[in-house]
Amino acid sequence: MIPITIGEIKFINKEIQRLNAKLVRLESEAYSVTPKLSDSPPNGGASDKVGNVVSQITDIKIDIQALVLKRDMALNMLSREKFEENCIYMRLRLHYSWAKIATSVGTSVDGLKKMCYRYSW
């Protein structure tokens, strides 16, 4: 497996958020389908809008699952023995602030962030 960095994990998280937002939009489209009532006959173009949306929803859910799996596998590779990896684990898995981590390890926030962002595992 190629080395991964905090930047890549953050990109994966943003992509998951983007896909979740798209999923919410598509689900609302699928649930808010109302039939058109008119006296005129249909124009012959038969399209299955709900079926298309359901297909897109399924594809997005698969993409989200793949990204979550990739992120979790990368975070599970972090060792709690190495200083940098332990700090990254606290930040990404436990959602501690940089200030809280820096205080607990006795270093500056800027120095800690630089060190962690440069580290790859």
Does residue 46 register a pLDDT over 60?
Answer: no
Of residues 3 and 42, the one with the higher pLDDT is 3
| Residues sharing a CB contact under 8 Å with residue 73, sequence separation 6 or more, in sequence order | none
Residue-wise pLDDT for 25-39, tens only, equals 998 887 775 666 666
pTM for the structure as a whole? 0.79
H helix or E strand, kind and range, residue 41: none
d(CA 102, CA 112): 7
How far from each other are the two terminal CA atoms of the chain, in whole angstroms? 10
The pLDDT mean for the chain works out to 89
